[in-house]
């Protein structure tokens, strides 16, 4: 297969690229390296089955050419994560919405299957647990920038479903706190990246609020399994899937676990949300996916236990991340 991965130099994108090349696909990556990192794909640059274009998905002429060339598109390029959108709200909304419009416009022109990467942030601050894919979304005021991430990905999903209604083969995955090798403090999986770096460098682990908020941390190999199944199975067409572990972990417990696994002398330090993000930030206290639909339609669920995934991530951080700073 010939596959285009937008955002293929990013944390999740580059793992997807590894997997696709490993099984013999020919892969094109378009990534402008704003949040992606050339280090993530450097090992493939000499591979004849790998083609990298350092450019934006907003370059329509490029996307027209790329999408005509390939059989299928994995659209992962986006301003990812609440933090980036809070720092640069305008760029976040525009890249996510315009980029997705362009990808679907050309996928429709050449009739190519598209997998759209979306996010658990879609559900907002709903208190109905676990989150089922067709549940109502609950978002805060437009004065609070964090909701623009959810809003922009929501529009992306509307675009995807609109093309799906026209018959285009489309599916969507909603990632829940993916972590693993190549996590980047500035990007996705940031609490895991922050805590590991802090633990390895003897800094206090900055726990926001009381640390009782929880997340379902999903190891990247599981994230990729879910992505590929949703991108390929006929049963996935026209459908959004949660891709997340169902083991809930409080942030304070995550900090303690990382301290134990790194054998660190650091300690947790509680900091207020105001201190961490500035005023008017709203955190979501809990995020739990229902994996029923993925079990039924993809015959799959995440398998990696948090402790095992963290050991692998810590090992990678020791070898790569901390030494490069």
Alpha helices, DSSP H only, in the chain?
Answer: 11-22, 60-69, 82-87, 89-110, 146-165, 190-200, 220-232, 251-262, 273-277, 292-293, 306-316, 322-324
Q: Are 149 and 92 in contact (CB under 8 A)?
A: yes
Sequence-distant (6+) residues with CB within 8 A of 20 are: 1, 3, 5, 27
Q: Determine, following the binding rule CB under 6 A, whether residue 70 of this chain makes contact with ligand UDP.
A: no
Q: What is the nearest approach in angstroms of ligand UDP to the Cβ of residue 270?
A: 9
Closer CB to ligand UDP, 21 or 192, in the complex: 192
- 167 HSE (CA, 13 A, CB side): 3
Selected from 78, 172, 191, 228, the binder of ligand UDP by CB under 6 A is: 191
Q: Determine, following the binding rule CB under 6 A, whether residue 194 of this chain makes contact with ligand UDP.
A: yes
**Torsional sign, CA 51, 54, 55, 61:** negative
By CB under 6 A, which span of 37-45, 75-83, 157-165, 305-313 interacts with ligand UDP?
75-83
Q: Determine, following the binding rule CB under 6 A, whether residue 126 of this chain makes contact with ligand UDP.
A: no
Closer CB to ligand UDP, 209 or 238, in the complex: 209
Q: Determine, following the binding rule CB under 6 A, whether residue 251 of this chain makes contact with ligand UDP.
A: yes
Q: Tally Cβ neighbours within 10 Å of residue 162.
A: 13
Q: Determine, following the binding rule CB under 6 A, whether residue 247 of this chain makes contact with ligand UDP.
A: no
Residue 149 among the catalytic residues: yes
Active-site choice (11, 106, 123, 149): 149
How many residues sit close enough to ligand UDP to count as binding (CB under 6 A)? 14
175-191 in b/e form (b: 16+ CB < 10 A) is: bbbbbbbbbbbebbbbb
Sequence-distant (6+) residues with CB within 8 A of 248 are: 214, 215, 216, 286, 288
Between CA 209 and CA 275 the distance in angstroms is 10
Q: What is the nearest approach in angstroms of ligand UDP to the Cβ of residue 209?
A: 7
Q: What is the nearest approach in angstroms of ligand UDP to the Cβ of residue 74?
A: 21
Q: Determine, following the binding rule CB under 6 A, whether residue 208 of this chain makes contact with ligand UDP.
A: yes
Q: Are 71 and 2 in contact (CB under 8 A)?
A: yes
Selected from 59, 88, 126, 213, the binder of ligand UDP by CB under 6 A is: 213
By CB under 6 A, which span of 67-75, 98-106, 186-194, 222-230 interacts with ligand UDP?
186-194
Selected from 63, 82, 117, 139, the binder of ligand UDP by CB under 6 A is: 82
Q: Are 231 and 115 in contact (CB under 8 A)?
A: yes
Q: Determine, following the binding rule CB under 6 A, whether residue 242 of this chain makes contact with ligand UDP.
A: no
Q: What is the nearest approach in angstroms of ligand UDP to the Cβ of residue 243?
A: 14
Catalytic center residues: 149
Binding residues (CB under 6 A) for ligand UDP: these are 81-83, 177, 190-191, 194, 206-208, 213, 215, 251, 283
């Amino acid at each position: 297969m010939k596959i285009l991965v937008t955002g293929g130099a990013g944390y999740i994108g580059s793992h997807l690229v590894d997997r696709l090349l490993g099984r013999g696909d020919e892969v094109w990556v378009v990534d402008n390296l704003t949040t992606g990192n050339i280090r993530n794909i450097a090992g493939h640059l000499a591979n004849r089955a790998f083609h990298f274009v350092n450019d934006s998905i907003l370059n329509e002429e490029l996307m027209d050419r790329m999408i005509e060339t390939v059989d299928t598109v994995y659209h992962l390029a986006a301003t990812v994560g609440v933090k980036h959108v809070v720092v640069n709200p305008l760029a976040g909304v525009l890249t996510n919405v315009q980029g997705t419009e362009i990808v679907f416009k050309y996928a429709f022109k050449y009739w190519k299957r598209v997998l759209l990467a979306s996010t658990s942030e879609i559900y907002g601050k709903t208190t109905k647990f676990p989150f089922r894919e067709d549940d109502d979304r609950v978002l805060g005021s437009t004065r609070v920038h964090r909701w623009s991430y959810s809003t922009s990905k929501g529009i992306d999903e509307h675009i995807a479903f609109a093309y799906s209604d026209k018959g285009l083969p489309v599916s969507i995955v909603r990632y829940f706190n993916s972590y693993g090798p190549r996590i980047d403090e500035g990007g996705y999986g940031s609490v895991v990246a922050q805590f590991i770096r802090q633990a390895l460098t003897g800094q206090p682990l900055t726990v926001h609020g009381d640390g009782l908020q929880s997340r379902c941390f999903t190891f990247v190999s599981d994230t990729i399994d879910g992505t590929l199944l949703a991108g390929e199975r006929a049963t996935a067409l026209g459908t959004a899937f949660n891709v997340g572990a169902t083991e809930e972990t409080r942030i304070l417990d995550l900090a303690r676990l990382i301290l134990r696994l790194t054998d660190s002398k650091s300690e947790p330090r509680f900091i207020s949300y105001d201190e961490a993000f500035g005023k008017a930030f709203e955190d979501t206290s809990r995020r739990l996916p229902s994996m029923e639909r993925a079990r039924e339609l993809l015959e799959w669920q995440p398998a990696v236990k948090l402790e095992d995934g963290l050991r692998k991530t810590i090992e990678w951080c020791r070898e790569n991340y901390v030494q490069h700073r």
